[in-house]
Amino acid sequence: MTSQAGEAVALRICPFCEACCGLEVRLRDREVVSVRGHAADVFSAGHLCPKGAALRDLHADPDRLRTPLIKRDGRFVEATWDEALDL
């Protein structure tokens, strides 16, 4: 990960399919600012499909789960990762 003036660039692979395209993710204060294909990636050579391009929107989605949930007494409640993984 490289950083500059409050921004960081993380090189990752896309998790959405088996192609594992290379991503260049620009972050500011742990928020995804932009996602684009990593030009030096040997497999995807900078190309990015619509699923990978939507990663920023998915990360910022207000309905995205940000903590594990477990069912207690018929309702979902927040749990720690240890609680969720011990089920």
Ranges of H-type helices in the chain: 50-53, 55-60, 81-85
**Residue 24 in contact with residue 36, Cβ under 8 Å?**
yes
What is the CB-side half-sphere exposure of residue 84 using CA atoms within 13 A?
10
Tell me, what's the pLDDT at 40?
95
Amino acid at site 34? S
Distance, in Å, from the CA atom of 68 to the CA atom of 82, rounded to the nearest integer, reads 10
Q: What is the pLDDT along the chain (87 residues), one digit of tens a residue?
A: 565 677 899 999 999 988 899 999 999 988 899 999 999 999 999 999 999 989 888 888 999 898 999 999 999 999 999 999 998
Does 2.20.25.90 match the CATH number of domain 2-62?
Answer: yes
Give the domain ranges of the chain. Answer: 2-62
Model-wide pTM > 0.75 = no
Tell me, what's the pLDDT at 78?
95
What is the CB-side half-sphere exposure of residue 40 using CA atoms within 13 A?
3
